[in-house]
Copies of this chain bind each other. A is one copy, B any other.
Amino acid sequence: MPARIRLPRRPAPAPVLVVGSVAYDSIETPHAKGERILGGSASYGALAASYFTEPRLVGVVGHDFRAADRRKLERRGIDLSALRADEGGRTFFWRGRYHENFNRRETLELELNVFERFRPDLPEAHRASPFAFIGNIRPDLQLHVLDQMRGKPFVVADTIDIWIETMRDTLLQVLRRADVTVINDSEASKITGETNAVAAGRALRALGLRTVIVKKGEHGAVLLHDDGLFTLPAFPVERLHDPTGAGDSFAGALIGYLAARGETGFAALREGMAFGTAVASLTVEDFSCDRLASAGCAEIRRRRRELSKITRI
């Protein structure tokens, strides 16, 4: 079994469903280049969650998906029984470039490939998962996942700007059904017209979303919950290498923590965000999932403690 962070006096953690993309990314930053490296919301989300519980990844890859990348996920104990291998095409591909100290991201190439005909049908065993991270995929597919789930799963959902522009109504249906929406400040602003993260979060709740976490990149994140507001800075990394996947790592660690703790209240969410921030800080210190997959529990715990130190008044 892969190394996991054990919470004191807790029963065995519940499994977490992680739905999203598994992708190959080619990334240019102001300092370096990575070619066809493992990426995608489900890869980052599942690897992050794997530090707390068993993730069940739902996604699709093409005939070019490397055995080494599959092993990278398996080694962290991720259940890949619902990762479909579609031999009729290539894996989802994204080529992007970060500019000006990472403040701007540009998409240079996007190939949906096998993702174009992907339909996330859940195996029988996965439908009763008590926790789910529904990462960025087309909103109607996110709805399809929600419709298949049984019982009362605790759902964290994410999205990206293209769906706000092209499928706003379906997207809002998804986010209203989620227990927690995790969303970038720029996307929250695109939906609500509010540029301040707190104001945008409040406006999202006024649209019927339950709990909202607005991610602000290097400025941290804000939680808006029935029981109050909570803010958290980003972990101060020594050197930002590649921000891709930070948000998915944050959400994956958050849902993993909640599943391990077996609680989903305000206090659990705050603590989950702290672990999410610690785990996301690993992701941005290297290309792809390499540092995330190899960092180990001790380093995550150290960063979690450090966060307490730097926020304590």
Stretch at the interface among A90-98, A147-155, A223-231: A223-231
Report whether A232 and B198 are in contact in the complex, using a CB–CB cutoff of 8 Å: no
A206 within 8 A of B: no
Given contacts A216-B219, A219-B216, A231-B233, contact A196 B310 (CB under 8 A): no
State A312–B271 Cα separation when bound (angstroms).
10
Given contacts A196-B101, A308-B313, A313-B307, contact A229 B236 (CB under 8 A): yes
Q: Mark A210-250, 1 if CB is under 8 A from B, else 0.
A: 00000010111010000011111100100010000000000
- Shortest Cβ distance from A170 into chain B, in angstroms? 28
A270 within 8 A of B: yes
In chain A, positions 286-313 with a C-beta closer than 8 Å to chain B are 307-313
Q: Which residues of B contact A197 (CB under 8 A)?
A: 218
- Which of under 10, 10 to 19, 20 to 34, or 35 or more describes the interface residues of A? 20 to 34
In chain A, positions 239-276 with a C-beta closer than 8 Å to chain B are 240, 270-271, 273-274
- Shortest Cβ distance from A246 into chain B, in angstroms? 14
Closest to A313 in B: B274
Closest to A231 in B: B233
Q: Which residues of B contact A220 (CB under 8 A)?
A: 219, 231, 233
Given contacts A219-B216, A274-B313, A313-B274, contact A198 B236 (CB under 8 A): yes
State A194–B218 Cα separation when bound (angstroms).
13
A103 within 8 A of B: yes
Q: Which residues of B contact A81 (CB under 8 A)?
A: none
State A218–B232 Cα separation when bound (angstroms).
13
Report whether B236 and A310 are in contact in the complex, using a CB–CB cutoff of 8 Å: no
State A217–B274 Cα separation when bound (angstroms).
23
- Shortest Cβ distance from A240 into chain B, in angstroms? 7
Report whether B195 and A311 are in contact in the complex, using a CB–CB cutoff of 8 Å: no
State A219–B233 Cα separation when bound (angstroms).
9
Q: Which residues of B contact A229 (CB under 8 A)?
A: 236, 310
Q: Which residues of B contact A271 (CB under 8 A)?
A: 313
Q: Which residues of B contact A309 (CB under 8 A)?
A: 228
Report whether A228 and B313 are in contact in the complex, using a CB–CB cutoff of 8 Å: no
State A310–B311 Cα separation when bound (angstroms).
10
State A42–B142 Cα separation when bound (angstroms).
55
Given contacts A228-B309, A228-B310, contact A218 B196 (CB under 8 A): yes
Q: Which residues of B contact A274 (CB under 8 A)?
A: 313
Which of B101, B194, B198, B231 is the one whose CB lies under 8 Å from A311? B231
Q: Which residues of B contact A196 (CB under 8 A)?
A: 101, 218, 240
- What are some 13 contacts across the A-B interface (CB < 8 A)? A196-B240, A219-B220, A220-B231, A220-B233, A222-B233, A229-B236, A229-B310, A230-B311, A231-B233, A231-B310, A231-B311, A232-B311, A311-B311
Nearest 3 Cβ contacts at the A-B interface: A231-B233, A219-B219, A101-B195
